[in-house]
């Protein structure tokens, strides 16, 4: 399928150092972005679908790097069906599992945690709820796992591990397992802050220093934050990505954003939701955290859009998150919400408002065009201008 998105007002790249791309057109072909720039007559005439963006802002699809998936589009924690498809209406085109800890009666023995991760990974390989790409299957680190276990699951395709819910004596016991997972080429993630569920324990800077994971999960608290003095230590003495989550502590989200900027490590600052959890199902969580960070710090709104897209993609080695030829064609059109104080998407976000989501394209396929069922409507009209396929994309 070839899709041309024309008449775009502004294109946010996904790279915070260089946050805008010149042009008004994005052409998607066979699931990838084919070109970004100015529309030619042939771009439009060769397209199966032409979307008139009406002057709205194009951003890469949001990547939520902390979602508690289980199996199918269902969360046992909040007994909700269809939550992932609902997140697509919040502009989320990729969800990365933060481990399948919510599976009822989840196994805790080494064979069980491996099987759970492999089954979750494989079950989402060909299942895209609402068009969303779900990277599932994160091994929950438990005592008894040995070095060969990580090589074995990595061979099955599993590439995520999570420290924080295991029956370890102290969090220092995770350190060798994290090292084995890294040696097997996996991305290692670690709970940070006070305990989140009964039975888990607090993880602080000293533990992260011993583990050196790729990602400090919900560094702002999940939901309970670290002592303030730990942030600087983690930034200075690890290379971990600093993941802030909607379902955490807002004050320390802002503390971490400002420190990341001041200390020259904004590359490591990434946004996620940590949902569904006790805090609920939050389809607009990514948009809320972007708006909170943009409106309550002095940094530009587009930086936080990039922290929710390209920065997540870089940390997790994904081919999405950037509006660039060759990348996965995950594109979201956003706008100022109608009736608000601002008249374009980035000004609205800086004002603290939720952007209106007007269209979502994932894997080069329009999933809905016009308006989201979860956000306010936008100021501008986005429509399918031409359609040569026997399909309706109005959602
Ligand atoms: Zn979590």
pLDDT in tens, 281-319: 999 999 999 999 999 999 999 999 999 999 999 999 999
Residue 259 alpha carbon to ligand 1 centre in Å: 23
Structure tokens at 287: 């948009």
CA of 275 to the centre of ligand 1 (A): 7
Alpha helix locations (H) across 49-103?
A: 83-88
CA nearest neighbour of 340 among 329, 330, 328, 352: 352
CA of 309 to the centre of ligand 1 (A): 19
| Cβ contacts of 383 within 8 Å, gap of 6 or more | 51, 52, 54, 369, 370
Task: Bin 305: left if φ > 0, else alpha if -120 < ψ < 50, else beta.
Answer: alpha
Query: Count of CB atoms within 10 A of residue 264's CB?
Result: 9
Across residues 52-66, what is the average pLDDT? 98
User: What is the predicted pLDDT for the residue at 95?
Assistant: 98
Q: What is the pLDDT of residues 32-56, one digit of tens each?
A: 999 999 988 888 889 999 999 999 9
* Lowest mean pLDDT segment, chosen from 261-265, 376-380, 390-394: 390-394
User: pLDDT tens, 337-380?
Assistant: 999 999 999 999 999 999 999 999 999 999 999 989 999 999 99
Contacts with 337 (C-beta within 8 Å, 6 or more apart), sequence order: 348, 353, 354, 355, 356, 375, 376, 377, 378, 379
**What is the whole-number distance in angstroms between the Cα of residue 348 and the centre of ligand 1?**
29
Ligand 1 centroid – CA 217 distance (Å) = 7
The helix/strand/coil state of 146 is coil
73 has pLDDT over 70: yes
Which pLDDT does position 76 carry in this prediction?
Answer: 96
Of 184-198, 350-364, 374-388, minimum mean pLDDT range: 184-198
Mean pLDDT, the chain, whole residue set: 96
Check whether the bond before 223 is cis (ω within 30° of 0): yes
pLDDT at 395 over 80: no
Q: How far is the CA of 278 from the centre of ligand 1 (A)?
A: 10
The pLDDT of 221-242, averaged and rounded, is: 96
| pLDDT value of residue 394 | 79
pLDDT score, position 40: 86
Q: How many CB atoms lie within 10 A of CB 359?
A: 30
Residue 282 CA to ligand 1 center (angstroms) comes to 13
Per-chain residues with Cβ under 5 A from ion ligand 1:
98, 274
- State the distance from the centre of ligand 1 to the C-alpha of 195, rounded, in angstroms: 11
Q: Which helix (H) or strand (E) holds 311?
A: helix 310-316
pLDDT exceeds 70 at position 198: no
Q: Taking 70 as the threshold, does the pLDDT of residue 199 lie above it?
A: no
Q: How far is the CA of 68 from the centre of ligand 1 (A)?
A: 6
- Looking only at the bridges linking them, the beta strands covering 331-335 and 57-60 are antiparallel
User: CA-CA distance, 351 to 340, in Å (whole number)?
Assistant: 9
């Amino acid at each position: 399928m070839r899709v041309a998105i024309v008449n775009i007002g502004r294109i946010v790249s996904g790279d915070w150092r260089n946050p805008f791309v010149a042009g008004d057109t994005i052409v998607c072909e066979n699931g990838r972005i084919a070109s970004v720039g100015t529309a030619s007559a042939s771009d439009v005439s060769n397209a199966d679908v032409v979307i008139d963006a009406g002057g709205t802002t194009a951003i890469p699809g949001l990547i939520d790097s902390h979602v508690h998936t289980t199996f199918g589009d269902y969360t046992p924690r909040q007994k909700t069906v269809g939550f992932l498809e609902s997140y697509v209406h919040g502009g989320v085109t990729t969800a990365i599992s933060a481990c399948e800890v919510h599976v009822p009666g989840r196994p805790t023995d080494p064979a069980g945690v491996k099987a759970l991760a492999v089954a979750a990974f494989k079950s989402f390989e060909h299942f895209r709820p609402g068009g969303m790409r779900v990277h599932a299957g994160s091994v929950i680190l438990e005592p008894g796992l040995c070095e060969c276990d990580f090589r074995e699951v990595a061979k099955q395709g599993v590439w995520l591990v999570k420290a924080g819910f295991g029956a370890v004596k102290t969090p220092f016991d995770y350190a060798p397992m994290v090292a084995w997972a890294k040696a097997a080429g996996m991305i290692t993630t670690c709970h940070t802050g006070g305990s989140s569920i009964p039975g888990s324990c607090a993880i602080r800077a000293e533990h992260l220093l011993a583990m050196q994971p790729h990602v400090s999960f919900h560094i702002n608290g999940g939901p309970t934050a670290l002592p303030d003095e730990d942030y600087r230590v983690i930034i200075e003495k690890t290379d971990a990505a600093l993941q802030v989550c909607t379902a955490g502590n807002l004050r320390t989200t802002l503390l971490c954003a400002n420190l990341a900027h001041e200390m020259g490590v904004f590359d490591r600052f990434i946004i996620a939701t940590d949902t569904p959890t006790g805090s609920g199902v939050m389809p607009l969580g990514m948009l809320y955290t972007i708006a909170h960070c943009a409106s309550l710090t002095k940094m530009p709104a587009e930086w936080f859009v990039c922290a929710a897209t390209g920065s997540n993609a870089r940390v997790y080695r994904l081919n999405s998150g950037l509006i660039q030829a060759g990348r996965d064609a995950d594109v979201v059109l956003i706008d100022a919400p109608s009736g608000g104080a601002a008249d374009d998407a980035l000004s609205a976000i800086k004002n603290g408002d939720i952007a209106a989501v007007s269209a979502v394209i994932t894997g080069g396929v329009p999933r809905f065009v016009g308006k989201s069922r979860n956000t306010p409507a936008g100021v501008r009209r986005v429509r399918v201008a031409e359609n040569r396929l026997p399909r309706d994309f109005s959602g």
